[in-house]
Structures are given as C-alpha cells and as structure tokens.
Amino acid sequence: MRKVSDSSYTESSTQPEAMEEEEPLFSNLDLFLFTLIAGLIIYWFMSRKKAEPIPDFFPGRQVMWSVKNSNCCCYFPLQGRNIVVFYGSQTGTGEEFANRLSKDAQRYGMKGMAADPEEYVMCELSRLAEIDNSLAIFCMATYGEGDPTDNAQDFYDWLQESDLELNGVNYTVFALGNKTYEHYNAMGAYVDKRLEELGAKRVFDLGMGDDDGNLEEDFVTWREQFWPAMCEHFGVEASGEDSSIRQYELKEHNDINMNKVYTGELGRLKSFETQKPPFDSKNPFLAPVIVNRKLNKAGNRHLMHLEVDITGSKIRYESGDHVAVYPTNDTAIVNKLGQILGVDLDMVISLNNLDEESNKKHPFPCPTTYRTALTHYLDIIHPPRTNVLYELAQYATDPKDQENMRKMASSAPEGKALYQSFVLEDNRNILAILEDLPSLRPPIDHLCELMPRLQARYYSIASSSKVHPNSIHICAVLVEYTTKTGRLTKGVATTWLKNKLVADNGHKSTVPMYIRKSQFRLPFKASNPVIMVGPGTGIAPFMGFIQERGWLKEQGKEVGETVLYFGCRHKNEDYLYQEELEEAEKTGVITKLNVAFSRDQEQKVYVQHLLRTNKEDLWRQIHTDNAHIYICGDARNMARDVQTAFYEIAEELGGMTRTQATDYIKKLMTKGRYSQDVWS
C-alpha cells in the first residue's frame, strides 16, 4: 500500500504564529478519505455473493473433497469413489503408477481416482474413514537427497506439522527411488511411517521400487500381490473383465478454429505467443539461444555449452539451481509412427475423459493434433512399460504376439525375463516394437492415451546470476548409442539441444524453460573454504560457483580457499572449460586446480585418487577450517567412490574407525557442509 503524505500537517518554520492556533482534529481531506473508504467497504459487503453452504456429507453416498486453486477453496465430489491414489512425482513415473492403480480399481468393482496432493487440502484425508471400503494409496517418489517431489512438498510439510487423527483411514504406500542415492526411498518410507503415527491403518506392506534395478518389475510384483490382498481385506471379488478399459474417448474436430488448438503449450492456450510471468512448470519461458558451442576439442562424443537469454523475463536464479527444459521428439520418429499406423497426423482431435467428474479431463492439452501430441506431449522414446504392452496386445492379429505381450505384463519369471530382454536390454521404443511386431497395429488414439507424458529435463546451471543476470548457461553431453537391434538411439533432450543453433536470419531458436530451486548452495560465509568435486559434465554448477567466488573477490570480500577436482578422459579431447579454469587459477579465484585425466596413462586416474593424494590439505580444510564439500556427477560410481575416499581420509588423519568416519561425514551432510547434486 502506497503511503500518502497529508499536506495539511506540513509545518513551516516561516510561520510560527500558525502554531498558536488550534488545528481541527480532522482536516477536510481526512473526512473525504474516511467517507470514501467507508463507502467502498459497505459496497463490498453489499455486492459480494453469499458463500455457498458446504454440502452435507452422507456416509456411503458422496464425499466432498476440498480442492485448492489460485482463487478459492472449492469442493470436488468424490461421487462414490472409494480408492484415491495420491502421487508425488518429479519425472512422471509416480503419476503414471497412480493412474494405473486407479484404473485397476474398476476391475475389482471399485471406483478410483489419481490425485495430485498439491491440488487438495490434505487435512480432509480423515474424511475417507466415512466411506465404506475406502483406501488411500500413496505412490511417492523421492527426489534428490531424500527430498519430496515438488508437488508433494506441501503434503510433506503438513505431515510434519499435523496432529490430525486419521483413525479409520486405510492406506498403503508404494515408494519410488534409486538405491544409488544416500536416502533411498526416504519420502515413501516417511509417509508410510507418519500416517501410521497419525492413527491410519496400513492394510498392505510398503512397496519399494528401485530405479537402479528394474522399477517396473518392482511395481508389477507389488501390484499383483496388493490387489488380491485388498479383495480379501474388503471381502470383494474381481468383477471387471480382464481386458482393456478405455479412460478416454476420441473426438475428431473437422471444422474448428485453429486459434483454439494447442500447438505445444503446457498450460494456457497461446502462452508461447503471449508470454506472461511468472514462469513455472505450467508456464515455461521461451528463452532464445544466444550461444551453442562444442566444448570438447576431439573424440567421438559431443559435449556442448549453451546460453539462453532471460532478459525481461523477471526470472531469477542462484548458483546451484537447476534449469528445467521441455524438449520435443525427433520429427523423423513422429513421421514414421504416422506412416506405420496409416494416420493423418494433422487431424485435430480431443481425448475426453469418460468419467465426466474426473479432475483430469484430457491426458494432454486438447484439442490438438496427433502430430503435436507425439512431438510435444508424449514420451515415445522411452521403452514402454508393461501396462502399455498389455493394453495394446488386443490389437495384435498374431496369437503368438498377443500371448508374448500379455506374458511380459505379468509377474511370472518367464514374463519378466522376456520383458527384460525384448524391451529393456534391446531398448525398444514403441516405434521399434511396432516395426518388429508387424501384426500389431493399434488405433493411434489408444496409443496416445497409453503413452506417458514427455517430461522436462533438469540441468545444473553452469553460471552465476551475479555475473550473468540475463542469461543461463547449460553444459550437457549428447546421448547417442546403437542398440542390440542395430538401431541408433538418440537422447531426446540432448539431441534437441544440440540442434538449437544460433540463427543468422533473424529467427531465434528458443528453449521452453523454468527454474527449479536447489539446496546446492555456496556457504553463507564467503570466507569458508569450498572443495568441489565434479568430473565430466559434473563441472556445470561449479562454473557458477567459481564465477561467483570471483565476483565476491572483486567486491572486496574475504573469500576462502576455492579448490576444484575435475576429471575427464583425455587432456587434449574433453578437458571442459580448460581456458576458463586455468585463467581462474592464474588470477587466484581457484586456489588449487586438480585435474584427473583417466585415460592419458596406462593406470587410470580418477578424482578420488587425487583426493587421497592431497589428503593432508583436505583434512585441514575440512576439520580445522570448516570447509564445505560439493559433489556433482554420477551417483552410481563416482559419488560413492569419492565418499569412500573421504571416509579413508577421516580414518587415517582423524584417527577414526570406519564407523566413526561414516558418522563424521554424515554429520557434515546434516550440517549442510557435504552436499551432492548427482544423477544415475
């Protein structure tokens, strides 16, 4: 609210006699403003709509569930649903599993719905106890270092603070995680434990899905044990047919205003034409690409550095944050799908939910074209999950193909082995499966219904906003390999980024993006030493850290030691940012630059070997000088090996046992002095 200065109360030193006169309590302006405000208040009370009463709750008939949105807290009718599957999902897998479970409910005479906890007032979870045979299922993924996914953050906070009694609420949890991470399935395990503490009844054991192994197999095995247990618990029998159950019906638009057709937007129609902040996952900013250069000097790989322009977007970021980008699928693959299925890809269609009361009206923005859906909205590159094969099996005219597709969707050992070899090991995407099973020609609308959504890709930002407030830098390596079937497979996002060239003809390549905040932060005190370990593209966030430490020095701040451990294969091939790093060491921004060239000598040398070589300096920095340690890169091997190196240093120079050394490093993690930004 703007502060208004009242001129009638301004004193003047040139008129001392005015001070002797008694001033009125309220000036004319005061009275005018008071009358105006009072009138506005009365008008507001008189004109606003009466609040609608909350519908009464009738046990066994209907439940009203509060739904959050930006304008109000409205009410969403469960309309007889007794299975609610909440999902915490960052990459879409948790949501996909939730949809599969809610669809399963129909086969067991129940009615289910998948629900995003971010959209619901979770304090009303207790009301599920009032519905007969009700159950809350939670498909909860763990993100980063034991964190909830973005859409489950509010739910996690509520669970921590709530003392709501959930007596009578039945629940079960399936957790999604990756064993290579320190806090494996932490979010799912916490939800399972906390719901029990609040009085809810666990009706089936916690499921643990490991993406480092075979997440799909873990889920199918848990699911096939879960439903028979639920039938026994609730005293019901499977009543649905063991066949495909469509969730959406096709509507073709033969005469439609093309201005009402989605062309790749994720939320608001035409949002890519008229950009309006704030920018987020539903409203990404189209950032022009201003730099796209190859980083490596030689070798077979393609490592790239991109810079995107965020001028005028009001986007703010900090060193260590992630930039999320929305890629598109390869046009050639989209065209091949259209050809093999014999469809007009430019047909405008809508897929409308058959359940009119569902909060999810379409599987992706509609109306749109098949071409747009396959290009922008659907993941057609990732090997399809078993439920997709099961649903599509009905369209195979060869009985053997039908049998094998259904077998792969079962938890039988033979079926698991077939799925592992035919789909996963041979890395067959949906196009490859259609090519190798000529009897399989499903309707394209059913295929589009079953394909998972194409997800944003996250990259550690390779710049500092202190130095580059109007641009964001990305460092990535092109994913490209030949499968066992002889097919060349290319990474969706990295291939797309590689082709985002800086045009000279006035047309600018753009990247739909938004910022995801991170806890990967430089120490609050610039005087604290930092130890950065980032081989390969793990160097990315440290480029931002180094830029920021240099900027702080320029501002006259006291900056502690800045030590970098970088690793690559060959000095003359893939020494990323060599000139920038060597210049930073020359000017003193980097106190010590340690580089491991793993394949430039007979014996391989990695960053963990250099850590052991410098163990005395490291121990002083950590134990005496309060250094902060940062690890970025591969979680499966590098991060583990580096952590082991720190254990060994603590054992040798700290006089600790392995157990004590492990506890010592874990305490550093708890204090925020050992941070990881890793992927598998």
Q: Is 203 annotated as a binding residue?
A: no
Q: Is 90 annotated as a binding residue?
A: yes
**Tokens linked to 63:** 């439940």
Phi, psi for residue 321 in degrees, rounded to 5? -70, 170
Instruction: Tell me which of 158, 227, 551, 679 is the catalytic residue.
Output: 679
Q: Is 93 annotated as a binding residue?
A: yes
Q: Is 492 annotated as a binding residue?
A: yes
Task: List the beta bridge partners of residue 325.
Answer: 457, 513
Q: Is 386 annotated as a binding residue?
A: no
Q: Is 350 annotated as a binding residue?
A: no
Q: Is 608 annotated as a binding residue?
A: yes
3-state secondary structure of 48: coil
Phi, psi for residue 323 in degrees, rounded to 5? -105, 130
| Closest C-alpha to 137, from 177, 109, 110, 157 | 110
Q: Is 141 annotated as a binding residue?
A: yes
Q: Is 147 annotated as a binding residue?
A: no
Task: List the beta bridge partners of residue 477.
Answer: 303
Q: Is 511 annotated as a binding residue?
A: no
Q: Is 182 annotated as a binding residue?
A: yes
679 is catalytic: yes
Q: Is 460 annotated as a binding residue?
A: yes
Q: Is 185 annotated as a binding residue?
A: yes
Q: Is 607 annotated as a binding residue?
A: yes
Query: What's the burial of 152, exposed, middle or buried (CB within 10 Å: 0-12/13-18/19+)?
Result: buried
Q: Which residues 6+ apart lie within 8 Å of 209 measured at CB? A: 174, 175, 176, 177, 185, 215, 218, 219, 222
Can you give 420-478 as a three-state secondary structure string? HHHHHHCCCCHHHHHHHCCCECCCHHHHHHHCCECCCEEEEECCCCCCCCCEEEEEEEC
Q: Is 331 annotated as a binding residue?
A: no
Instruction: Tell me which of 379, 401, 574, 677 is the catalytic residue.
Output: 677
Instruction: Tell me which of 104, 632, 634, 675 is the catalytic residue.
Output: 632
Give dist(CA 564, CA 590) in Å, integer: 7
**Tokens linked to 359:** 């909060």
Q: Is 641 annotated as a binding residue?
A: yes
Q: Is 339 annotated as a binding residue?
A: no
Q: Which residues 6+ apart lie within 8 Å of 254 measured at CB? A: 348
Q: Is 317 annotated as a binding residue?
A: no
Give dist(CA 118, CA 155) in Å, integer: 7
Give dist(CA 426, CA 623) in Å, integer: 49
Q: Is 369 annotated as a binding residue?
A: no
Q: Is 679 annotated as a binding residue?
A: yes
Give dist(CA 67, CA 442) in Å, integer: 36
Q: Is 604 annotated as a binding residue?
A: yes
Q: Is 598 annotated as a binding residue?
A: yes
Can you give 339-391 as a three-state secondary structure string? HHHCCCCCCEEEEEECCCCCCCCCCCCCCEEHHHHHHHHECCCCCCCHHHHHH
Instruction: Tell me which of 460, 471, 518, 675 is the catalytic residue.
Output: 460
677 is catalytic: yes
Amino acid type, 174: F
Q: Is 459 annotated as a binding residue?
A: yes
Q: Is 494 annotated as a binding residue?
A: yes
Give me the residue label for tokens 């030193």.
Answer: 13
Give dist(CA 169, CA 203) in Å, integer: 10
Q: Is 633 annotated as a binding residue?
A: no
Q: Is 427 annotated as a binding residue?
A: no
User: In the Cβ-directed half-sphere of 528, how many Cα atoms lie within 13 Å?
Assistant: 17
| Closest C-alpha to 145, from 95, 181, 170 | 181
Q: Is 491 annotated as a binding residue?
A: yes
Can you give 125-155 as a three-state secondary structure string? HHHHHHCCCCEEEEEEEEECCCEECHHHHHH
Q: Is 661 annotated as a binding residue?
A: no
Q: Is 92 annotated as a binding residue?
A: yes
Q: Is 591 annotated as a binding residue?
A: no
User: Are the C-beta atoms of 598 and 606 separated by less than 8 Å?
Assistant: yes
| Closest C-alpha to 396, from 361, 455, 438, 430 | 438
Q: Is 411 annotated as a binding residue?
A: no
Task: Look up residue 259 and give its DSSP letter.
Answer: G
Q: What share of the chain is helix, strand, coil (3-state, %, to 5)?
A: 40, 20, 40
Q: Is 301 annotated as a binding residue?
A: yes
Task: Look up residue 112 and give its DSSP letter.
Answer: E
Q: Is 180 annotated as a binding residue?
A: yes
Return the exposure string of 282-311: e unless at least 16 CB atoms fall within 10 Å of the residue's CB, then b. Answer: ebbbbbbbeebeebbeeeebbbbbbbbbbe
Give dist(CA 374, CA 361) in Å, integer: 19
Give me the residue label for tokens 């190798």.
Answer: 436
DSSP run (H or E) holding 286 = strand 285-294
Annotated binding site for FMN: 89-94, 141-144, 176-185, 211
**Annotated binding residues, as ranges?**
89-94, 141-144, 176-185, 211, 301, 457-460, 475-477, 481, 491-494, 537, 598-599, 604-608, 641, 679
Catalytic residues: 460, 632, 677, 679
| Binding site members for NADP(+) | 301, 537, 598-599, 604-608, 641
Residues contributing to the annotated binding site for FAD: 457-460, 475-477, 481, 491-494, 679
